[in-house]
Amino acid sequence: MWKDLGVGEGGLDKLHAFVALVEKWTVRINLVARSTLPDIWERHIEDSARLCLTAPESPAIWADFGAGGGFPGIVVAVVLQARGAKTRVILVESDLRKATFLRESARLLDLPVEVRSERAESLPPLGADVVSARALTALDGLCALAQRHMAPGGVAIFPKGENYEAEIDAARKNWRFDLETVTDPRHKGAILCLRKIDLARS
């Protein structure tokens, strides 16, 4: 997978360094469930990096909401930097402790990341080419967030669990969108890629 993503040894070194930071900080604040730490590469790093396979090669702005422990935002920033992309990665996280972790990770890993410790609803529109969120809220709510912050022609990329089809059905009651569903036989969930998000006609 890393070869497909264009991530070489330098990028993998940064990801290993990031894993060490997550493990260190999780002792103090709840970045990820401690039970998932033994599987952090498969459960968090690889799952986050996989979003880049569905995204544009070199977006100008990538905004990740509910960035929390840096999944997928920090991982995405490492992958894009390793590719040579000049992407500005904006991480939105209202929890001040997690926002501090994100800033420290970006500083130590020398990543082009901007952290906004605000709620997504209060931010002015970001005009992002890519909007992402992992385990933040249901797809219906994510559509509202994406519509506000996504640039025309942009894409929203949301990894979802095994109930993703029910979330799609619920979201379509309020929203219209073009949908691409990317599944992986190793997982029960899917990556949902939405374009042209708009309110459904009443």
Q: Is 23 annotated as a binding residue?
A: no
55 marked ligand binding residue: no
Find out whether 144 is annotated in a ligand binding site.
Answer: no
- The answer to whether the CB of 70 falls within 8 A of the CB of 104 is no
101 is in an annotated binding site: no
Q: How far is CA 133 from CA 64, 76, 149, 194, in A?
A: 6, 12, 12, 12
- Residue 164 CA to residue 141 CA, distance in Å, equals 14
Burial of 201 (0-12, 13-18, 19+ CB in 10 A): exposed
Helix-then-strand count for the chain, H and E: 8, 7
Q: Is residue 71 part of an annotated ligand binding site?
A: yes
- Going by the annotation, the residues of the binding site are 66, 71, 120-121, 134
- Going by the annotation, the residues of the binding site for S-adenosyl-L-methionine are 66, 71, 120-121, 134
